Structure 1
Amino acid sequence: MKFQTQTCAMMVSAIALMAAAPAMAAEAPAKDSNGEIIVTAQRTVSVASKTPISLTVIAADELRQRGVSTVADLRNMAPALEIGNASQGPNISVRGLGSTDLSSKGKQGVVFTVDNIPVGRPQMMGSAFFDLERVEVLRGPQGTLYGKNATAGVINLITARPKDVLEARATVELGNFNTMRGEGMVNLPVTSNWAVRAAGSVNRREGYLLPVLGQKALGTQANLSDENNWNLRLSSLLKFADTGRFLLTGTFGHVGGTGDVSNGMLYSRWLSTNGSGSAYARQVYYNPMAGKLNDRFANVNAEISFDVGAVNVTYDGAHLFFKARDNKFASTGDPAGAGGTANYTWSDYRADITLDSHEIRLSNAKPGKLSWVVGGNYWKEKIDEQDMNWQTLTGTATCSAPTLSAACNNPNPHIIGPTGHKSTGLFGQSTYEVVDGLKLTAGLRYSKDSLYRNAMRAAGGAPAAGWLDAFGKPCAPPNYCANGTPNVGAQEDSKLTWRLGVDYQITPRQMVYGSIATGYKAGGFNDVDPTTTNSGTGTYGAEQLTAYEVGYKGRVLPNLQFNSSVYYYDYSKYQFTGVTFLAALPGLPTGVLIYTTLVPAKAYGWENELNWTPTKHDRVMLTSTLAEGHYSAGPQVGFIYSKRQDWTGYRFDRLPKFTLSGSYEHTFELKDGARIIGRVNSRYSSGYLVSDTMGDGNPFAGVYSVMPAQYRQGAFTRTDLSLAYESENGKLRLEGFVRNLENKVQLLGSPNGINPAGVGTADRTTVRVSEPRMFGARLTVKY
């Protein structure tokens, strides 16, 4: 609270100092004179259809009308974009590539930015999905301009900026699972050169996993996978001189409820109901430890932009703070079955995450034959965390909370202490028009990244006196703790990456382009190095690839836009992450740990996007993808380290070979000028695979009961429908909608907690799945 008070005071002071500045011309519009969306995907202003990269832009109206309120809602809105789910938050992949290590020392393979500020932790990605101007999805390595870990792509969220008009908007949504959502915005021009904007959202929804099987916990346990959060954003835009602007934004909020549980639907019911989203399929076991999220965040970012002669100077800076106090649990236990061998799992996760980001860019102020941008960045993240995990046998006495009793717990890893990431970079990119319509692009970036952890690692139940630091006090970050093993590790990488491109404007509205780019994601370290006989950490190197792409963007007809691209990725080093049990190795501590190695990999595919308006009342949008991706050689997986399996040739997770998405919208004009707008969105996906790289076994006996395997999600369709009434002036919109009409749920990860019995009362195998059918009504009023 102290941080939020100081932040608000800083914003108020800054606003007061800005009031007397001179006026400037209006900032760049959201669309150009032809109605095409303006983007900043290449760190300069350009039109989406003339930006020579694979890019999908989703405008504000589209986001609101499709009810986007979380990062997961983007799953069906851009080709080759898949968003999984893990205990730490969303797991984003583009063209089958991303990251499976979402722990505090892991790094995303897809850069996620909010107003040009990279967000490092998955749990911090959900705080900006309201009052947006647009979302940009960039496919392919973008290391030259985005640096840190942009090997697979970038997702840019651009929040709505203050404008020089008085306007307001309010939206209320009601739906099944007792959904109640509200979003509002007020934009106020204070003077001719200063405007402020306030926006907020409230999101409430009961969970769709129903804890009704087996013994019921004392009291009433809430449904799982619910939503319960609020957000507030305050922004101020000051225009000064002739070309300058100063944007200051503060975002604050809270995340509560039970959140996403560590697992999800019972795998046996997913199989027996053919992926149904019915209430029966969504029943899970009660857990004696009810989960609760209690996360708060406060973010402040500033953007200053002005011209000095022929040069534009832009600075983006931010301080982000996220405080997590979470008790999570898994719906794995079967209180009645398996002779007491089934178990409950839960965690007590506490973290204070701070992020500081600074970037300055210089670019040409006016368009010309040569356009260029150079800059430098500094990014620092610190995570003080206490990540405590337990397993409790169902045959023992119920543990109502994380306990000091070792008798109640099976071994599970605990990490207590600080982890830090730091990244610096220098970059430049220029485009020169050699002859009319023909442009050459060259980019270069030097990146330096480092990672450290200065923590304690332990396994099993807590000691009788609890975890204590060196002074005999209860252990809390960043102190070492007694009865644990020091978990001190560090890794540092530097790399020069480059990009070469060419594009040719065939006609004013048709272009072809091609590029060769290198990508880089910094290395890290494993908590334990199983290749040695000591218990120390072991480093792994940077991820590296070379990507080739050719594409076409064109207005084939005045009312038809078509984009197409073909790509090929050659990963000389891909960071492959699995999980293994290390207790059976001499000199190593007990523990199930994430383990990353470097392997070669290949990926290639073909993507298409079509936007057609055959009449002023009709709009058709189509996207399709063909994709392939596999590990070339070397991956070893398995719960038992000494008996790991060769994963060579295995396909990337969540990468369907073929997808086809279609959207059709028709507008019915009414006599009074109002409109009825009907819309259908449907996506067909061929089957894809999800990997269990661990399996299940007895590491002490060296025997597997369930081998590591890939599990198949079959082909499916997912359809959304909406019907809206819109007044003549567009200030009133009433809409009814259904999402996932089929009421089928798809695998987002592999089954967890594989049990050889696997069915009936002995089933403790669960799996993360997408949302079942959602429906409701949404009312929007504008002023």
Structure 2
Amino acid sequence: MQHHRGNPTLLAVLAAAACANAAHAQVADGQLQEVVVTAQRTTSLESKTPVAMSVLSGEALREAGFGTPAELAKRLPNVHLDGAADGLRITIRGMSNSDATDKGDPSAAFMLDGIYIARPQNQNGLLLDVDRIEVLRGPQGTLYGRNTTAGVVHVISRAPTRALEGAFGVEAGNFRSRKANGMLNVPITGWLALRAAVAVDRHNAYLRNGQGTPHTPGQDAGRRAARLSARVALGPAASLLLRADHARNDYNPDSFVSDNNFFRHADSGKPEWYGAAARDRLTNRFVPRNVVPEQGWGRNRSAGAGAEFTWNLGPATLHYLGAHRKFDLDFLTNYIYRVAPQATLGVRQNFTGGQRQDSHELRVATSGDGALSAQAGLYWFDERSHSNYVFRDLAPIGLTPYYAFPTDPTVAKSRAAFGQLAYRVTGRLRATAGLRHTEDEKSRVGATSFQQGPAFNPATDFQLPNAARIETDKRTWRLGLDYDLAPSAFLPATFVYGTLSTGYKAGGFNDGCLAGPACPAAAAVAPGYLFYRPETLKALELGAKTRFWHRRASLDAAAFMYDYTNLQLSGNAIIAGAPRFITTNAGIASVRGLELDGKVQASADDRFSYGLTLLDAHYVSYTPDGVHSWNGRKLDRSPSHVLTAGYQRRVRLAGHEVRAGVDARRSAAYMIGVPSKLVQYRVPAMATVDATLAWRPDDAPWTLAAYAHNLGNRIAPATIDSFGMAVPGAPRVVGVRFDYRYQ
């Protein structure tokens, strides 16, 4: 089909134009402009913040044509953001998580305006009226809490201002992509300002149907999102920011193909990568012998309301941040279900579920520029979920016709107290110490149901209880030193830092129950199988942030060493005659690496970006099945090196401005592991190229732009699960966009 090849004329124009990377830094008098961040929960310059981090501005996202978090990874060193079938999969410095169920936890926290978003299915929505995205690499347990052993992805939206302004944009591209967005900011009075934003994103399926059915395949989108914000001035010293948002996505969850689309001998457990055209990678040719697939469908709904209160008390400022969020998901999907070598079934699954979460944080931070600065706070989180998975079509291998996993409720609670001090020892040297104590509680009431039909019948069916409760707690801490090196004839202005910190990810449980009144002895499982322990780490990081050549060039460098204990790994397996999703602890893992990235403003019209990451992330002690050793094997999505380069050129022609450029990324080979099957899939080295082109007449309020992602149309699997289902990455995507802004 022609739309899979994109628009050759447009692609040729874009490639010839050599378009730019969407970097957040802008030019001010020929210099790279400083970027203000809140990575340490206080306002600071990125170049003076002792954290390895990347910042992408909302303007940069718009110029690059990025609409969801899964599209950002090519701009982020040592980061994978994959749009998996079950939500956003975040991997930072080789650390990831594949448990997207209501009992699982991520290794990297995803936050929206300071609010922790617990479920990955609720993380890959539209980037709506974004001010910036801060991606923090490395454990952030002191200020951001549990489940941040890998880092933090923080999306920060624009707040109402005192200026009357508005904007709208429309976009069209291949795969019948249609996008639109709008924003209106209105100062109502001197004490009240309102801001509204909306966005729509629709495109046809990236996948092709090779199954011989009339059904539409997946990797489509039907997203809509809206947000209303109000800023209220409560006198000269206090303010209240209120936000309410709603989003939905009507889509097809059949977003996978067989791993045979990428690897030979995958059925036998010895996968070998082979070359193929993008069209072949994206075609689902699996034809099950046991069932006729149905048309897949999915409905995703999310909504939230939050409040942020700030009160300047003079020597200190009081901050409150709270939110209530809800998420509902219903779908029907057709699985590829390999139960044994050369034996693969089609399995249909219905799912219905929902989640509600409440969070509150009260924090006090000192004001002023004294030698001592401090912040301390209390945090409270409560999440309640219900769900029902119903699998069918396993009868041909002698299993029950229907398996159901009803759960109501699954509860996750977290309580924490934290504080961090920073003391300026001299005018240039500062010491930091932070501590957080976290208590987590998880529980679940549910069952594994063996059924003859879609609904449970007590006369013919039976259930095994899935009921467990676990409490874990941990103190995480952070010690740091940073120093401002004065510029000299031999050394430019440089900020250096060193941190020693710990991280913690809560423990949890698998399917089953312990023997007791509610759990018959015949259904009971051993505690060692039912529970898995918290994941912890110790991390050492040394970094430097340099601005040189009269602040026209930058270099950020970070070297890090992690030692993980009880790394949590998840996968599917058939246990006691039922498919189950289990998590185990992987003993010890080691992560070592180096990151270099920077920019060069070669002239007022030319800007370069560059990056190099080196990574050694491997298991030190791990036997997935208790027999076979994986010691020394690489962790998932941890290429030994990645190179990035970008170039942006601005040309002025008779009252017009044209911006063009290119961004390239080459990743070394990496692994995607399935420990429950003792299989690792090796994805070979691969390069991708993006391009953008924009034109605007001088003083015009509008811009016409074009972009192309993945010019070479290289397709790699984003995820591969225990049953041989692979989710392909996005193909070549091109689009043309018109933006208008009033202010």
Find the aligned partners of 2:686 and 2:167 in 1 and give their Cα distance.
37
1:670 corresponding residue in structure 2: 653
User: 1:776 Cα shift?
Assistant: 1.6
* Secondary structure at the counterpart of residue 256 of structure 1: strand
State yes or no: 1:208 paired with 2:206.
yes
What is the CA deviation profile of residues 159-196 of structure 1, one whole-angstrom value per residue up to 9, with x for unaligned ones?
11111111111111111111111111111111123211
User: 1:35 Cα shift?
Assistant: 3.3
Which of 651, 676, 691 is residue 673 of structure 2 equivalent to? 691
* Secondary structure at the counterpart of residue 462 of structure 2: coil
User: 1:630 Cα shift?
Assistant: 1.0
Q: How many residue pairs end up in the alignment?
A: 688
Which of 682, 690, 708 is residue 720 of structure 1 equivalent to? 690
1:511 corresponding residue in structure 2: 495
Find the aligned partners of 1:254 and 1:572 in 2 and give their Cα distance.
38
- Contact 2:105–2:147 (8 Å) recurs in 1: yes
* Secondary structure at the counterpart of residue 102 of structure 1: coil
- Contact 2:422–2:431 (8 Å) recurs in 1: yes
What is the CA deviation profile of residues 281-328 of structure 1, one whole-angstrom value per residue up to 9, with x for unaligned ones?
535347621111112121001101111121101111000011111112
User: 1:711 Cα shift?
Assistant: 1.2
Cα gap change, 1:32 to 1:436, in 2 (>3 Å): farther
Find the aligned partners of 2:660 and 2:164 in 1 and give their Cα distance.
30
2:429 corresponding residue in structure 1: 438
User: 1:364 Cα shift?
Assistant: 1.3
2:506 corresponding residue in structure 1: 522
> Residue type of the partner of 2:56?
I
- Contact 2:571–2:721 (8 Å) recurs in 1: no
Cα gap change, 1:600 to 1:408, in 2 (>3 Å): closer
1:132 corresponding residue in structure 2: 130
Identity of aligned residues (%): 29
What is the CA deviation profile of residues 657-696 of structure 1, one whole-angstrom value per residue up to 9, with x for unaligned ones?
0001111100001221x2100010110001101112233x
User: 1:597 Cα shift?
Assistant: 2.2
Which of 232, 245, 252 is residue 226 of structure 2 equivalent to? 232
1:248 corresponding residue in structure 2: 242
> Residue type of the partner of 1:443?
G
Cα gap change, 1:530 to 1:745, in 2 (>3 Å): farther
Where does 1:15-414 land on structure 2 (aligned, <5 Å)? 35-127=33-125, 129-214=127-212, 216=213, 220-259=214-253, 261=255, 263-264=256-257, 267-268=260-261, 274-278=275-279, 281-285=282-286, 288-330=293-335, 342-391=344-393, 414=405
Find the aligned partners of 1:644 and 1:329 in 2 and give their Cα distance.
34
- Contact 2:663–2:689 (8 Å) recurs in 1: yes
State yes or no: 1:550 paired with 2:542.
yes
Which of 507, 518, 524 is residue 535 of structure 1 equivalent to? 524
- Contact 2:591–2:618 (8 Å) recurs in 1: yes
1:599 corresponding residue in structure 2: 587
* Secondary structure at the counterpart of residue 106 of structure 1: coil
> Residue type of the partner of 2:244?
G
Where does 1:589-668 land on structure 2 (aligned, <5 Å)? 590-637=578-625, 645-668=628-651
Find the aligned partners of 2:514 and 2:659 in 1 and give their Cα distance.
60
> Residue type of the partner of 1:596?
T
Q: CA RMSD in A?
A: 2.7
1:776 corresponding residue in structure 2: 735
For structure 1, list consecutive stretches of 5 or more residues without a partner in the other structure.
1-29, 397-405, 473-480, 584-588, 638-642, 696-707, 754-764
Greater Cα shift, 100-109 or 77-86: 77-86
Find the aligned partners of 2:231 and 2:125 in 1 and give their Cα distance.
21
- Contact 2:96–2:636 (8 Å) recurs in 1: no
2:465 corresponding residue in structure 1: 486
For structure 2, list consecutive stretches of 5 or more residues without a partner in the other structure.
1-25, 265-272, 488-492, 516-520
1:15 corresponding residue in structure 2: none
Find the aligned partners of 2:456 and 2:715 in 1 and give their Cα distance.
41
> Residue type of the partner of 2:475?
L
Cα gap change, 1:275 to 1:196, in 2 (>3 Å): farther
- Contact 1:347–1:387 (8 Å) recurs in 2: yes
- Larger relative strand fraction: 2
User: 1:232 Cα shift?
Assistant: 0.6
* Secondary structure at the counterpart of residue 62 of structure 2: helix
Cα gap change, 1:660 to 1:170, in 2 (>3 Å): same
1:420 corresponding residue in structure 2: 411
Find the aligned partners of 1:490 and 1:275 in 2 and give their Cα distance.
48
Cα gap change, 1:259 to 1:169, in 2 (>3 Å): farther
State yes or no: 1:681 paired with 2:692.
no
Find the aligned partners of 2:513 and 2:685 in 1 and give their Cα distance.
40
Cα gap change, 1:275 to 1:63, in 2 (>3 Å): farther
Where does 1:429-468 land on structure 2 (aligned, <5 Å)? 429-459=420-450, 462-464=451-453, 466-467=455-456
What is the CA deviation profile of residues 377-404 of structure 1, one whole-angstrom value per residue up to 9, with x for unaligned ones?
00111111112223357xx8xxxxxxxx
- Contact 2:226–2:247 (8 Å) recurs in 1: yes
Find the aligned partners of 1:632 and 1:305 in 2 and give their Cα distance.
46
User: 1:269 Cα shift?
Assistant: 5.8
* Secondary structure at the counterpart of residue 650 of structure 2: strand
What is the CA deviation profile of residues 44-95 of structure 1, one whole-angstrom value per residue up to 9, with x for unaligned ones?
1111111011011111111111122112111212101112344321111100
- Contact 1:226–1:260 (8 Å) recurs in 2: no
- Contact 1:273–1:281 (8 Å) recurs in 2: no
TM-score by length of 2: 0.88
1:758 corresponding residue in structure 2: none
Greater Cα shift, 173-182 or 220-229: 220-229
Which of 485, 496, 521 is residue 475 of structure 2 equivalent to? 496
Find the aligned partners of 2:482 and 2:566 in 1 and give their Cα distance.
29
> Residue type of the partner of 2:711?
L
Find the aligned partners of 1:208 and 1:128 in 2 and give their Cα distance.
18
Find the aligned partners of 1:497 and 1:439 in 2 and give their Cα distance.
21
User: 1:527 Cα shift?
Assistant: 1.4
Find the aligned partners of 2:333 and 2:591 in 1 and give their Cα distance.
36
TM-score by length of 1: 0.83
* Secondary structure at the counterpart of residue 728 of structure 2: coil
Find the aligned partners of 2:523 and 2:244 in 1 and give their Cα distance.
47
Find the aligned partners of 2:351 and 2:601 in 1 and give their Cα distance.
50
Find the aligned partners of 2:673 and 2:402 in 1 and give their Cα distance.
24
What is the CA deviation profile of residues 405-432 of structure 1, one whole-angstrom value per residue up to 9, with x for unaligned ones?
x999657563433211111100000111
- Contact 1:104–1:121 (8 Å) recurs in 2: yes
State yes or no: 1:564 paired with 2:557.
yes
Find the aligned partners of 1:437 and 1:212 in 2 and give their Cα distance.
64
What is the CA deviation profile of residues 181-228 of structure 1, one whole-angstrom value per residue up to 9, with x for unaligned ones?
1111111111123211110111101111111333x2xxx422321111
Find the aligned partners of 1:128 and 1:176 in 2 and give their Cα distance.
19
Find the aligned partners of 2:628 and 2:74 in 1 and give their Cα distance.
34
